[in-house]
Amino acid sequence: MKNKENTMKDFLLEIGCEEIPAGYLPPAENQLRSLIESGLKESRICFGSICSFSTPVRIVVHVKEIAARQEAQREKISGPSKEAAFDKDGRPTQACLGFLKSKGAQIRDIKIETTPKGEYLFIERAKESLSTRKVLSTILPKAIGSLRFPKVMKWQADGAKFARPVRSILAFYGDEVVPLKYGSLDSSDHTRMPRYKSAVMKTAKVRSVNDYFLKLKGWGVELSGNRRSSMIYAFLKDAAKKEGASDNFNMTLLETVSYLSEAPSGFIGKFSKDYLDLPAEVLESSMAKNQKIFLLKDSKGKALASFAGVLNGKRKDISLIRQTFESILNAKLKDSMFFLKEDLKLRLEDRIELLKGVVFQAKLGSVYDRTKRLQELARYIAGELNLSEDDKKKVEMAALLSKTDLVTQMVKEFPDLQGVVGREYAKRTGEDKEVAKALYEHYLPKGPNDPLPSGSISAILAIADKIDSIAGFYSIGLVPTGSEDPYGIRRASLGLLKILVEKKYPLSLEDLIDRSFGLYGQAAAFDVSKVRSQIITFQKERLKNILLDKNYKDDIIDSVLSPGIGKFDRLGKKLEDLSSISQAKYFLEAAKVAERVSNILKGAKDFKAEETKVKPELFREQLEHELWDIYAKNSGKIENRIEAGDYTGATRLYAEAFSGPIHLFFEKVVVNADDQALRANRLSLLKSIQAVYMNKAADLSKIKLQ
């Protein structure tokens, strides 16, 4: 909002708390900023800019150049009708006088306006303009109370809730405290010192907004999470250089750690080289989960016996802190080493029977049942892709072993390492390299920026895994709703579609769904046609977004998807061909034919094409015979081009055959004739012309013509 007042001051709110979980902080500061911004705008208070910050013990909002008062505003108040307000001699009645008295107005303030109900009295007056401090006293408690966290706690008898106990509220307008109350806590001019300066976090008096920032700077507090993250990253790079490591850090952990300290400082620690036999992912997961420290690795991703840690505040001597971290880490890694040795006493293949005791989903059976379904699906997909017999055996073995690491002690300790543990254990027990790789890669992609499975074995297992989940959960009604997706169907769908689009496999989504349905047997009773349709609709929405990200035009995508997704090798070819000719004259002519034919057919609500065939004996006009002959001569040629995957050639043929004749037909022949049989026959002729291209290649009526 633009500022118009000259008396501008800054405003600052700080909520001081006990340590809040790192993941809660960025959303909370964004919420608080948004709530205060909305409150100020709704209250007609001008300000320059607004920003928010958070540390483990503070959530802060800073508003620059905020006006001293609400913007002036006039209000219009309606009164009685003119007829009721004045008698026949024009003197004000009691109704008029009572209205004026209640509003503190005079006769001269009255305006008479004509409304739909007749003439009525109105008065205009300046709306009360409150001071900003007074308005803030109302806005702020509501904003604080409206914050939402994954979990909240009550820490006072009055029932006030927050992520963690609130210990102080500092609210300043310039150099004045803004009075407010949250729970039983009153705002004040005091903030708490950081814990590394005072173990009990003593309070310190603040004189103004500027003084607040100076005090925090003096204590070394960095309010910005982004700047703290940059500080930590710079330290990690320096630590890596000293240890001869690469700049390959756990970036998810970096984001977390940046909200665990107010003034990050770093140190380097060591652990026993005996634990380097553990997979690097296990080392990294243990460090991140238990101590929030960073494993240092070489350029090939191999673990070094070093780690980097982050502290809150600088210390003169950190030797004891380092020793404590090292001692705890070695103890944790000793446990992991025990898990590794115990797990490797059994081959993955020997764990298959144990999966019978692990429930996948109550209505969908055990993980063992799921493994068997994956094996069947993978075998089917491998056959469709004409894999060699050797590769088919690898796919089946990968499917059989795909979930066996779920019953290892290592995955029970580190659930996020499923797939990683399977791959590592498969390597160490002599499984085929591609099989081992598939045990990890079939979970890919886990996120929007993740790589896809690299080889055909991995990709086939990934497709089987994802379609089994999607079909299974849909079959029992567990579908995504709104922002809720507890079974990861959106993630599975995006992963499945990305693989199929990028690999351009000759696979049909409809066939995959039906195959998957068939493998559930009586596990779930459902309407197959209805559920299949639900899944396809859901997948189309996500597929369109994927294709838009690949820079295909919106209308090209709609035209190609309209007849159905079909096989993905053909889908990719259609998109490429039609995109390459989208500005060609013949493409636009074909689209115009499609548009005109579709518009006529859409308007024929009672026409059922599947029940009506073209009957040449009913033709009355020469143009009907000519159009039917053109169709008969060209339909086979067009279909052959489509079948061969030559969508450019098919589009050219379609335009050359029908562009002139169809426009002449519409000009000279009345399609919607009064004779019902004649009308149905002409519509059937048009439907045949539409179907020969649009039902098999693309619905070009979706193309946006200028």
The contacts found for 348-356 with CB under 8 angstroms, 24 or more apart, are 348/401, 348/404, 348/405, 348/422, 348/425, 348/426, 348/429, 348/431, 349/400, 349/401, 349/404, 351/404, 351/405, 351/407, 351/408, 352/400, 352/401, 352/404, 354/404, 354/407, 355/403, 355/404, 355/406, 355/407
**Same domain (yes/no): 368, 462:** yes
Asked if 437 and 457 touch (Cβ cutoff 8 Å), the reply is yes
- How far apart (Å, rounded) are the C-alpha atoms in residues 177 and 190? 10
**Same domain (yes/no): 292, 316:** yes
Lowest mean pLDDT among 94-98, 235-239, 405-409, 636-640: 94-98
- How far apart (Å, rounded) are the C-alpha atoms in residues 628 and 614? 9
pLDDT exceeds cutoff 80 at 1: no
- How far apart (Å, rounded) are the C-alpha atoms in residues 437 and 427? 9
User: In terms of Cα–Cα distance, which of 2, 159, 157 is closest to 71?
Assistant: 2
Look at residue 569 and tell me if it is in a domain.
no
* Mean pLDDT across the chain: 93
**Structural tokens at position 405:** 């690491």
How far from the centroid of its chain's Cα atoms is residue 653's Cα? Answer: 43
pLDDT band at 160 (very low <50, low <70, confident <90, very high): confident
Phi, psi of 78 (to 5 degrees): -90, 150
pLDDT at site 481: 85
**Same domain (yes/no): 519, 654:** no
Find the CATH number of the domain harbouring 408. Answer: 1.10.3210
Asked if 160 and 183 touch (Cβ cutoff 8 Å), the reply is yes
pLDDT at site 485: 87
Distances (CA, A) of 175 to 11, 12, 65, 114: 9, 10, 13, 51
- How far apart (Å, rounded) are the C-alpha atoms in residues 229 and 258? 5
Grouping H, G, I as helix, E, B as strand and the rest as coil, residue 582 is coil
pLDDT at site 454: 94
User: In terms of Cα–Cα distance, which of 654, 655, 680, 682 is closest to 668?
Assistant: 682
Look at residue 629 and tell me if it is in a domain.
yes
- How far apart (Å, rounded) are the C-alpha atoms in residues 485 and 16? 34
Axis crossing angle, helix 528-549 with helix 489-503, rounded to the nearest 10: 60
Q: pLDDT tens digit string along 439-489?
A: 999 999 998 889 999 999 999 999 999 999 999 999 999 998 877 888 999
pLDDT exceeds cutoff 70 at 91: yes
Q: pLDDT tens digit string along 588-599?
A: 999 999 999 999
- How far apart (Å, rounded) are the C-alpha atoms in residues 320 and 332? 18
Share of the chain above pLDDT 90, in %: 82
Phi, psi of 215 (to 5 degrees): -65, -45
pLDDT at site 522: 60
> pTM of this prediction?
0.83
pLDDT band at 102 (very low <50, low <70, confident <90, very high): confident
**Structural tokens at position 631:** 């169709």
pLDDT at site 9: 93
- If you average pLDDT over residues 425-444, what whole number do you get? 97
- If you average pLDDT over residues 520-531, what whole number do you get? 77
For the chain, the C-alpha Rg in angstroms (whole number) is 36
**Same domain (yes/no): 501, 641:** no
- If you average pLDDT over residues 312-338, what whole number do you get? 95
H helix or E strand, kind and range, residue 111: strand 111-115
Look at residue 319 and tell me if it is in a domain.
yes
- If you average pLDDT over residues 20-40, what whole number do you get? 96
pLDDT exceeds cutoff 90 at 16: yes
Domain boundary among 292, 311, 343: 343
Look at residue 2 and tell me if it is in a domain.
no
pLDDT exceeds cutoff 60 at 5: no
**Same domain (yes/no): 385, 495:** yes
- How far apart (Å, rounded) are the C-alpha atoms in residues 47 and 243? 49
How many alpha carbons lie under 13 Å from residue 690 in its C-beta half-sphere? 21
Distances (CA, A) of 309 to 72, 233, 260, 267, 325: 55, 11, 12, 5, 9
pLDDT band at 650 (very low <50, low <70, confident <90, very high): very high
Look at residue 558 and tell me if it is in a domain.
no
HEC readout, 585-597: HHHHHHHHHHHHH
Look at residue 37 and tell me if it is in a domain.
yes
Paired strand residues for 126: 74
Q: Cα–Cα–Cα angle for 151, 312, 146, nearest 5°? A: 25
Find the CATH number of the domain harbouring 687. Answer: 1.10.730
pLDDT at site 29: 96
**Structural tokens at position 502:** 């990028």
Burial class (CB within 10 angstroms; exposed 0-12, middle 13-18, buried 19+) of 80: middle
**Structural tokens at position 654:** 């379609």
Phi, psi of 651 (to 5 degrees): -65, -40
**Same domain (yes/no): 357, 405:** yes
pLDDT at site 548: 96
**Same domain (yes/no): 331, 284:** yes
pLDDT exceeds cutoff 80 at 7: no
Cis peptide before 480 (omega within 30 of 0): no
- If you average pLDDT over residues 230-235, what whole number do you get? 97
Terminal alpha carbon distance of the chain = 39
- If you average pLDDT over residues 251-280, what whole number do you get? 96
H helix or E strand, kind and range, residue 270: strand 264-270
pLDDT exceeds cutoff 60 at 49: yes
Look at residue 563 and tell me if it is in a domain.
no
**Same domain (yes/no): 138, 206:** yes
**Same domain (yes/no): 480, 412:** yes
**Same domain (yes/no): 381, 512:** yes
Handedness of CA 568, 572, 577, 583 (dihedral sign): positive
Domain boundary among 276, 309, 343: 343
Share of the chain above pLDDT 70, in %: 98
How are the residues of the chain apportioned to helix, strand and coil, as percentages rounded to the nearest 5? 55, 15, 30
**Same domain (yes/no): 435, 510:** yes
Q: How many domains does the chain have?
A: 5
Look at residue 568 and tell me if it is in a domain.
no
**Structural tokens at position 395:** 């796919």
Give the structural domain span for 433: 349-551
- How far apart (Å, rounded) are the C-alpha atoms in residues 12 and 136? 11
**Same domain (yes/no): 193, 324:** no
